[in-house]
């Protein structure tokens, strides 16, 4: 600063220098102290420096407004409760032979209890399931084709035995529950399939029918073998009847003795 001032003094400038005016050598000494209660006015050069060295935020090439926000990934916290429910669903699918998926519309509580009671009598359990738990379990097991059924509220009717007819009868009495589909003995059936299954006769009746069908042929063997002699007997009987008819036209002939022979 001093060198510049010396140069200015010797170089010559204008009227102030002729009057013997010296510039303020120390800018700092004028005015108030460094720390003031009010906002101390900054030197203009300092103001310019502050303006130049301001923070510039980074601008991404694509503004975030134009990008569709990625849906935040569902937290895979895997709390123990969800794990327990998933395990229960797996057990259900393993242990029971018949699993029917029904749509559940809201029912009065007592009706639910009644329906459960009736189904329990036939050893059918009613299970309420949450889609968000069942879907991952099914997608990883062999029941992938049941996935489209698990949409909106639904319940599972599970049973170790096949009692389709009783189940359908109970469900007919409850209008709020609609059967969507079933997985019976590892076969996926639609609603029609379940109804057909129910229309089938029971196991004992069908067993009896098969036995009857099988026994039909051997029962016919004896009649087949006897058919020749039976035909001959029939022909002779017919012949005798014709002779009798002719002889009764001419009266009193002892024909029975001949017919018995």
Partner 1 sequence: GGVTVPRAGLKKYVLPPDYSGITFPERTKLKFMEKVPAVPKVKRETRQLRDIRGPSHEATEFTQGQYGILALGGGYLHWGHFEMIRLTIGRSMDPKTMFAIWRVPAPYKPVTRKSLGHRMGGGKGPIDHYVTAVKSGRLVVEVGGRCEFGEVKPFLTQVAKKLPFPAIPVSRDGLQQMRQEEEEKKLNNQNPWTFERVVTANMLGMRKYLSPYDLRLKGRYWGKFYLKHRV
In the stretch 13-32, what mask flags binding to partner 1 with x, by CB under 8 A?
Answer: --------------xx----
Nearest-angstrom CA–CA distance, 158 and 127 = 8
Residues 119-178 that bind partner 1 (CB under 8 A): 130-133, 148, 151-153
Dihedral, CA of residue 152, residue 170, residue 113 and residue 189, to nearest 10: -30
Nearest distance in Å: CB 95, partner 1: 23
Nearest distance in Å: CB 89, partner 1: 12
Nearest-angstrom CA–CA distance, 147 and 257 = 85
DSSP letters, 85-148, are HHHHHHHHHHH-SEEEEEEE----HHHHHHHHHHHHHTT-EEEE--HHHHHHHHHHSS-GGGGG
Candidate ranges 64-72, 77-85, 136-144, 228-236; the one touching partner 1 (CB under 8 A)? 77-85
Nearest-angstrom CA–CA distance, 122 and 100 = 14
- Could you tell me the two tokens for 82? 């969800």
* C-alpha closest to that of 125 among 82, 88, 91, 96: 96
7 near partner 1, rule: CB under 8 A: no
Nearest distance in Å: CB 88, partner 1: 13
CB 156 within 8 A of CB 99: yes
Query: Smaller CB distance to partner 1: residue 21 or 55?
Result: 55
Nearest-angstrom CA–CA distance, 18 and 230 = 164
- Could you tell me the two tokens for 151? 């949409």
2 near partner 1, rule: CB under 8 A: no
- Could you tell me the two tokens for 250? 């001419």
Nearest distance in Å: CB 217, partner 1: 51
Query: Smaller CB distance to partner 1: residue 47 or 248?
Result: 47
CB 119 within 8 A of CB 157: yes
Query: Smaller CB distance to partner 1: residue 188 or 243?
Result: 188
Among residues 6, 50, 205, 232, which is the contact residue for partner 1, using CB under 8 A?
Answer: 50
Among residues 5, 6, 16, 40, which is the contact residue for partner 1, using CB under 8 A?
Answer: 40
The residue written with tokens 């057990």 in the block is 91
Query: Smaller CB distance to partner 1: residue 47 or 210?
Result: 47
Among residues 79, 186, 187, 250, which is the contact residue for partner 1, using CB under 8 A?
Answer: 79
76 near partner 1, rule: CB under 8 A: no
61 near partner 1, rule: CB under 8 A: no
Query: Smaller CB distance to partner 1: residue 133 or 157?
Result: 133
Local structure of residue 63 (DSSP, 8 states): -
CB 180 within 8 A of CB 154: yes
- CA atoms 74, 78, 80, 85: torsion sign: positive
Nearest distance in Å: CB 53, partner 1: 4
Residues that bind partner 1 (CB under 8 A): 1, 27-28, 33-37, 39-40, 42-43, 45-46, 49-50, 52-59, 77, 79, 81-82, 85, 130-133, 148, 151-153
């Amino acid at each position: 600063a001093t060198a510049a001032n010396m140069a200015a003094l010797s170089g010559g400038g204008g009227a102030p220098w002729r009057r013997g005016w010296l510039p303020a050598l120390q800018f700092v000494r004028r005015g108030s102290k460094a720390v003031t209660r009010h906002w101390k006015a900054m030197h203009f050069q300092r103001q310019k420096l502050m303006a130049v060295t301001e923070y510039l935020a980074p601008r991404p090439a694509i503004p975030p407004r134009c990008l569709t926000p990625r849906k935040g990934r569902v937290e895979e916290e895997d709390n123990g409760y969800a794990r327990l429910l998933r395990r229960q669903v797996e057990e259900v699918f393993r242990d029971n032979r018949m699993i029917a998926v029904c749509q559940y519309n809201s029912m009065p509580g007592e009706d639910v209890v009644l329906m459960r009671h009736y189904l329990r009598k036939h050893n059918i359990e009613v299970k309420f399931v949450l889609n968000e738990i069942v879907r991952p379990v099914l997608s990883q097991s062999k029941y992938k084709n049941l996935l489209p059924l698990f949409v909106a509220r639904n319940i599972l009717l599970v049973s170790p035995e096949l009692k389709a007819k009783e189940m359908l009868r109970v469900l007919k009495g409850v209008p709020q529950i609609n059967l969507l589909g079933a997985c019976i003995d590892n076969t996926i059936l639609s609603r029609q399939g379940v109804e057909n299954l129910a229309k089938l006769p029971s196991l004992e009746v069908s067993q009896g029918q098969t036995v009857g069908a099988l026994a039909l042929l051997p029962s016919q063997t004896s009649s087949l073998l006897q058919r020749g002699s039976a035909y001959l007997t029939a022909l002779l009987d017919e012949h005798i009847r014709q002779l009798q008819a002719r002889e009764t036209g001419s009266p009193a002939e002892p024909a029975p003795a001949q017919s018995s022979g």
